[in-house]
Structure 1
Amino acid sequence: MRILQLCHKSPWPPKDGGAIAMLTMAKGFSLLGHEVHVLAMNTRKHQIQIEEIPDDLKEKMHLKLADVPAKITLFGAIANLLFSKLPYNATRFMEVDFNRQLTKLLKETEFDLIQLEGLYLCSYIPTIREYSKAQIAYRAHNVEHEIWERTALVTPGLKRIYLKGLAQRIKQFELSQLNKYDLLVPITDRDGEILDQLGNKKPRHTAQTGIDLATLVPKAGQLEYPSLFHLGALDWAPNQEGLLWFLENVWSKLHKQYPNLKFYVAGRNAPEWLQAKLHYKNVIFLGEIEDAYTFMNSKAIMVVPLLSGSGMRVKIIEGLALGKAIVSTTIGAEGIAVQKGKHILLVDDADEFIQTISQLIGNRDLYDQLCKNAIDFIHEKFDNLAIAESLIDFYKQHLHG
């Protein structure tokens, strides 16, 4: 098959869940022998040069970048609020130049399937219909409006009112795009069921973010036990709010119990205001790290204190693959078919966090068993090649003719 993936940001470098999800799928398609083309928006926030992309990756896929500013400004947000019914999140990705490049590509190349990576690529379905006979698959990375509804619930003041309004607009946009595609590919079963309830009538197939098992190899040689760590994009509001909640409600008490315990915080694009709030005793802020897997292998207990968000946390999948003991909120582990207490420990209030982390510190056998179960679970459920192959089978069943 000749497949085109449309992306709202470059899949390289794979430093956040969205980029990882796009890149692993493209690699999977390529390894299965399909011809893969990627047209990605090169935004201000995630800007790269084509020269930065490794040669071996360029050999696996035809990758083109289209400059799309997609910048967030106060003026832009206010103008959108006053003069548009569309959500600001969507209008930022509606770009004439991207549409022009897409049109050119569709005129030059005949595709069997076009996979839209995320909600905001659905705006380009009319262009695809005009210039291509390809089947269109909408890969829903999450239920977009749910993220903003949940963020609004944990946000105080005037900002909550704005976020509630934005969530409503995003929901209307999400509803307006339902069934314009031919096939629906949610990343979790849960998201697929929600989209069905909202009105999806098209065939759907869940394709989780797979793991390259040859790359994620558990190595416990340099393990600092006990230690805690948090890893994630620190410019993402759900990560920010969850981390600050954890520090105020959990770490402040945990540190009194274990004065020598260290909590490592890593992630890119941490704004200065957030860095200023990380000054707690024994909290070590590392910022963006060169090698996430080496870092994760060296630390013991991963904490995921998410209070909002949607979709699937790829960092949890990576943590499980590396045999990490993970303590997460229920929302954090949503969409991942883990067994509570066997593969991961799920807690939803500060006292439970403290109690559960204390158990892992005091019981090395429990810690080791949890780590082993995590690795076994990923090897059974998240092999990228198997996930890509299953999705290709689904696509072949629904291709025209």
Structure 2
Amino acid sequence: MSHYGHGLLSIYGHPFFFSYSGTEQSSAVQRQIDFIRPDFIFVHRLAAMCALMRGQSRAPKMWFDLDDIEHRARLRAALARPRHAGKLAYIAHNLNVHRAERNAINLASIATVCSEIDRRYLTRLGLGHHLEVVPNAITVPSQFPPPQQDRVLLFLGNYNHPPNVDAAQRLLKSIWPLVLAQLPDARLVVAGANSARIGISTNPPPSVTFCGFVEDIHTVYSQARAVACPISFGGGTRVKLIEAAAYGKPIVSTTIGAEGLAFVDGKDILIRDSNREFAAACLQVLTDDATSAELGLSARSTALRLYDASLVGAQVSARLDRLMTNDA
């Protein structure tokens, strides 16, 4: 059977999930469960859950963390440009991916997603009976840099992740030229590992700097005036936006880029979807000191209130205590 055909029969034959859910993997997981006899298992993402489901594991209480709704994210990726027959063939796999998500949620004692939007989406599919929200979180720095006067726009991501590659290419080809036409002294910094996948990192235009993997994230945020996130597909929530907010940076994002986060358009963030509107918003935060400062401070306030690791960690600890002392 072809590479594309395996996933039509079962999630365990899916081109991505099969490497996590072979008979050897599932047997090894079950042997460890039988040997250790844990009171509780935390399972991160559907791929890890596949080994437990295939082996019909005799597991104790399980917490299944679905930080990305796989079938929805994969559908968006398949429909994103450029399209080709092989890519579209993955759409046919989605029934099995969705079925596996349903089985995984039902198998778990508790299942968590990273946003209220994701919880409502799965509830509409009949999967909300023990589904809860645990947002992505970071350690919000106690100090943040003063507003940067240099007109530096930052895009940050891991370019092994296709949505980040697509966003960087869109920014460079379709948005940044519109910004430069109005603001010739502006600079764009593209940070993150594996930037060669973007395609022009070895010979960028003079206004663009590729800095690769950044050891000290504080430095790259300190040097930027604003942050862009022109993501067109994907799932979950973008931790990079929580980071930018924590550093008090004004953010311009697409609707999907900001999906699931509580940042309010016009107050904490500027949300724009067309290339021209996105470029205009970038120009605004690069040139308007008052707007830039207000957006950054408001976004930081929201990050402190909702996405600080100490607060979210306390919520997780309390929920785990309840799980271990009760049936759910």
Alpha-carbon spacing, 1:396–1:273, altered in 2? closer, same or farther (3 Å): closer
Matched, 1:117 2:44: yes
- Deviation readout 1:61-86 (Å, 9 max, x if unpaired): xxxxxxxxxxxxxx983573587664
- Give the structure 1 partner of residue 61 of structure 2: 135
Give the C-alpha shift of residue 338 in structure 1. Answer: 1.2
Matched, 1:265 2:190: yes
- Give the structure 1 partner of residue 123 of structure 2: 196
Matched, 1:334 2:263: no
Alpha-carbon spacing, 1:274–1:235, altered in 2? closer, same or farther (3 Å): farther
Give the C-alpha shift of residue 243 in structure 1. Answer: 1.7
Partner residue of 1:237 out of 156, 162, 165: 162
- Give the structure 1 partner of residue 74 of structure 2: 148
- Runs of 5+ in structure 2 lacking a partner? none
Give the C-alpha shift of residue 211 in structure 1. Answer: 1.7
- Deviation readout 1:148-184 (Å, 9 max, x if unpaired): 2112222223244233234444234323434121211
SS at 1:268 equivalent: coil
Alpha-carbon spacing, 1:254–1:335, altered in 2? closer, same or farther (3 Å): same
Q: How does 1:201-212 map to 2 (within 5 A)?
A: 201-212=128-139
Query: 2: distance between equivalents of 1:182 and 1:128?
Result: 18
Q: If the length of structure 2 is used for normalisation, what is the TM-score?
A: 0.88
Partner residue of 2:233 out of 308, 313, 316: 308
Kept in 2, the 8 Å contact 1:229–1:301? The answer is yes
Give the C-alpha shift of residue 357 in structure 1. Answer: 1.5
- Give the structure 2 partner of residue 284 of structure 1: 209
RMSD: 2.7
Give the C-alpha shift of residue 119 in structure 1. Answer: 1.1
Partner residue of 1:275 out of 197, 200, 222: 200
SS at 2:194 equivalent: coil
Matched, 1:363 2:268: no
Kept in 1, the 8 Å contact 2:8–2:96? The answer is no
SS at 1:77 equivalent: coil
Kept in 2, the 8 Å contact 1:235–1:271? The answer is no
Query: 2: distance between equivalents of 1:126 and 1:168?
Result: 17
Alpha-carbon spacing, 1:97–1:160, altered in 2? closer, same or farther (3 Å): closer
Query: 2: distance between equivalents of 1:176 and 1:392?
Result: 25
Give the C-alpha shift of residue 337 in structure 1. Answer: 1.0
Alpha-carbon spacing, 1:330–1:83, altered in 2? closer, same or farther (3 Å): closer
Give the C-alpha shift of residue 276 in structure 1. Answer: 5.6
Kept in 1, the 8 Å contact 2:246–2:303? The answer is yes
Query: 1: distance between equivalents of 2:84 and 2:282?
Result: 33
SS at 2:151 equivalent: strand
Q: How does 1:370-385 map to 2 (within 5 A)?
A: 370-385=295-310
- Give the structure 2 partner of residue 322 of structure 1: 247
Using the TM superposition, name which of 331-340 and 96-105 deviates more: 96-105
- Deviation readout 1:169-208 (Å, 9 max, x if unpaired): 4234323434121211111111111122222154222111
Give the C-alpha shift of residue 282 in structure 1. Answer: 1.0
Matched, 1:185 2:112: yes
Q: For 1:370, give the aligned amino acid.
A: L
Kept in 1, the 8 Å contact 2:153–2:286? The answer is no
Kept in 2, the 8 Å contact 1:303–1:328? The answer is yes
Query: 1: distance between equivalents of 2:164 and 2:309?
Result: 26
- Give the structure 2 partner of residue 63 of structure 1: none
- Deviation readout 1:95-116 (Å, 9 max, x if unpaired): 5565455345433434332111
- Give the structure 2 partner of residue 62 of structure 1: none
Query: 1: distance between equivalents of 2:169 and 2:86?
Result: 17
Kept in 2, the 8 Å contact 1:103–1:127? The answer is no
Kept in 2, the 8 Å contact 1:301–1:324? The answer is yes
Q: How does 1:377-396 map to 2 (within 5 A)?
A: 377-396=302-321
Query: 2: distance between equivalents of 1:355 and 1:95?
Result: 50
Partner residue of 1:297 out of 208, 213, 222: 222
Q: How does 1:148-187 map to 2 (within 5 A)?
A: 148-155=74-81, 156-187=83-114
Kept in 2, the 8 Å contact 1:211–1:384? The answer is yes
Query: 2: distance between equivalents of 1:148 and 1:277?
Result: 30
Instruction: Report the identity percentage.
Output: 21
Q: How does 1:99-114 map to 2 (within 5 A)?
A: 99=26, 101-114=28-41
- Runs of 5+ in structure 1 lacking a partner? 1-74
Query: 2: distance between equivalents of 1:315 and 1:192?
Result: 21
**Equivalent residue pairs, number:** 324
Kept in 1, the 8 Å contact 2:71–2:94? The answer is yes
Q: For 2:72, give the aligned amino acid.
A: E
SS at 2:150 equivalent: strand
Alpha-carbon spacing, 1:162–1:292, altered in 2? closer, same or farther (3 Å): farther
Kept in 2, the 8 Å contact 1:232–1:315? The answer is yes
SS at 2:91 equivalent: helix
